[in-house]
Structure 1
Amino acid sequence: MGVRQIASAVPTTATRARSVLAAAWSCGVTTDVGQDDLIGAHRVREDGTVRIGPPPDSVLAAAVLCSPHGRPTALLEFADAAPVPVRDRVRSRLFLSGELVPDGEDLVLRPARAVLQTRTERLGIPLGELAAASPDPLALAEPRLLTHLADAHPEAVEQLTRLIAPDSLHGVVRVQPLAVDRHGLTLRLERTRGQADVRIPFHSPADDLTALTERMHCLLASAQAVTRRRR
């Protein structure tokens, strides 16, 4: 099952892709020579440009030596994994393909294609939109925010399920916070067999941590009101 959205306000595909880029610490690189998994070897500039410093003993370094003018074509893969332990932990994968061009000691990707793949869809991203987009303002803070919510406030996570239609909770054995962005919070509903994701929207975008705290308090207050009505 995919993500059930209670409201339509969601990040654009380009914003989601830029968020994956901003938060990723590693990337997979596939060239004609072979495949590498590089950790801490890439940087992303504000305009979305991806720069890679290929380790001397890497397959990527060999690809540079073997390619004409030291410009290998490559497929870069960035995985977006949920910070909280859940089934099917990889939420999406971003694929960028193109030519890697030497710039000093780095290689700079000249993208020809960008694709964001989720559990339910594969979305092509116009390169102009990707370059113009910015990461979600909560992207870098998301891992510690969700980990804190899951570890320190499990009762709040349970309370938030009051905002979900009761029939969607049938058979649910565990609920975990899966994702958060400026527009809302997504919960993973795990059943004995299978799972579903439900998105709970904020009443307005949260562009910083102060605003996020207020939006979460509003959601909890709404959940408490639902609890009182059902008694």
Structure 2
Amino acid sequence: MLPLTSAAPTTAERIRSACHRAGGALLAVEREDPVATPVHHLLDDGSFAVTLPVARGGAQGGLVAGSQALLELTDYAPLPLREPVRSLVWVRGRLQQVPPASVTQTLDLIATECPNPALLQVDTPHSMPSNPQDTRYTLLRLAIDSVVVTDATGAEPVSVDDLLAARPDPFCELESGLLWHLDKAHSDVVARLVSRLPAALRRGQVRPLGLDRYGVRFRVEGEDGDHDIRLPFHKPVDDMTGLSKAFRVLMGCPFINGLRARR
């Protein structure tokens, strides 16, 4: 049997992936109640592009520009679990106004990296009058003071430089479909992978929790609480061909057909 590596994503990589797939995001501005922000994108200058409803941020964000704010990003597990939150990312900083002349260019930049339908709800200098019942948003920048991620292993900060140097995991967008497919259509594969875990860590219901280029994670829901464990690949992988091979090698049966993402 080949020796397993202990490689895992860096803290910065975990945060970039969590930001990319975050199923929920809240922006709390000082002296205001938190509000959902559908756009939360890390820009090349080290700030986050965020949105506030026009009624909260003013026509160009002038009512909140300069305010301290906290962006909270929630990374949910793709499968239903007793505790569905895998990690939380907290970004603290100060809100800054995006110059009106730069709003459209910034939205275009975000769209090339993350085509989010909510970008169409952001007001620009050339926005057409909209239905009064539609929620419109103001685009702002959150200049970062600190970034912290917390999960089952604890809390850890990361620098802005490390965050900018990291990239989301290559399977970030496919992870949910792959784990659903693995759990529902390949229970035999799950059973063989789980059999590789130490017996003491298999006391409870074991479900796939996460997948990245370094390995697959499982959540063990036992009577004494929840426990997460990583089953690492023998080497990091970057595409579906490598991922299929990594699963076959991990199972000790390289002739089994590989997994494919559910479309």
Interval of TM-score (by shorter of Structure 1 and Structure 2):
0.7 to 0.9
TM-score (norm 2): 0.73
**Deviation digits for residues 163-207 of structure 1 (CA, Å, limit 9, x no counterpart):** 1122322x32x2110011110101112223422212101011011
Matched AA of 1:14: A
Give the Å deviation of 1:19: 0.7
SS at match of 2:236: coil
Matches within 5 A, 1:35-184: 35-45=33-43, 49-58=47-56, 60-61=57-58, 64-67=61-64, 70-103=65-98, 104=100, 105=103, 106-169=139-202, 171-172=203-204, 174-184=205-215
Identity of aligned residues (%): 32
1:189 and 2:184 matched: no
Alignment match, 2:31:
33
| Residues 213, 48 of structure 1: alpha-carbon distance in 2 compared, 3 angstrom cutoff | farther
Q: What TM-score results when the alignment is normalised by the length of structure 1?
A: 0.83
Whether the 8 Å contact between 1:163 and 1:223 is mirrored in structure 2 is no
Residues 112, 83 of structure 1: CA spacing in aligned structure 2 closer, same or farther, 3 A cutoff?
A: same
CA distance in 1, matches of 2:45, 2:8: 22
Give the Cα–Cα distance (whole angstroms) in 1 for the partners of residues 168 and 178 of structure 2.
16
Looking at structure 1, the residues matched to 44 and 245 of structure 2 have their Cα atoms a distance apart, in angstroms, of 28
Cα 1:79–1:31, aligned 2, differ >3 Å: closer, same or farther? same
Structure with the largest fraction of helix: 1
Question: What's the secondary structure of 2:217's corresponding residue?
Answer: strand
Structure 1 range deviating more: 89-98 or 213-222:
213-222
- Aligned residue for 1:217? 248
Which range moved further: 214-223 or 15-24?
214-223
SS of 1:205's equivalent?
Answer: coil
Q: How many residues align?
A: 214
Give the SS at the match of 2:54.
coil
Q: Secondary structure at the match of 1:135?
A: coil
Gaps of 5+ in 1: 1-5, 225-231
- Structure 2 unaligned residues grouped into runs of 5+: 104-138, 256-263
> Given residue 26 of structure 1, which amino acid in structure 2 is its aligned partner?
G
Displacement after TM superposition at 1:44 (Å): 3.8
Change (3 A) 1:42 1:26: same
Q: 13, 19, 22: which one pairs with 2:20?
A: 22
Deviation of 1:56 (Å): 1.4
**Counterpart-to-counterpart distance in 2, 1:48 and 1:146:** 32
